[in-house]
Amino acid sequence: MIIDSETFTELAVHLKLASDAILSTTHHLAAINSPNTPATEDAEWKGTIESMISVNHQITIMEQLLRAIMDANRADQGPSGSQEGPSLC
């Protein structure tokens, strides 16, 4: 599979953002589970939901980028199915 450096960097950025959102979600869930913070439970649930929406958004973008890469690679393949250029798989 061939991937240009700009697309690779874009995928890496969205992977990092998704990772950050997962970490944020775990912090919110830990705060909800803490017996010392019952007054902030609603805010923590809201933060948890927002973080999960962010994860979903970043993963959707990564899926779209990967599909575009696959489509571009299919277009670069000759009729015999051989790839033109180096493979990064």
The vertex-11 CA angle with 66 and 69, nearest 5°, equals: 25
Please report whether residue 86 resides in a domain: no
pLDDT band at 3; cut points 50, 70, 90: confident
Please report whether residue 10 resides in a domain: yes
> Per the structure, how many domains does the chain have?
1
In terms of residue numbers, what domain contains 12?
5-74
Q: Which residue has the higher pLDDT, 76 or 27?
A: 27
Q: Please report, for the domain that includes residue 20, its CATH number.
A: 1.20.58
* pLDDT value, residue 33: 75
Residues 2 and 70: beta-carbon distance below 8 Å: no
pTM of the entire predicted model = 0.64
* pLDDT value, residue 89: 47
**Which of 5, 14, 18 is closest to 69 using CA atoms?**
5
Q: Which two tokens stand for residue 65?
A: 């980028």
Please report whether residue 9 resides in a domain: yes
Q: Is the pLDDT of residue 1 over 70?
A: no
Task: Give per-residue pLDDT as tens, 15-67.
Answer: 999 999 999 888 888 887 777 666 677 788 888 888 889 999 999 998 898 88
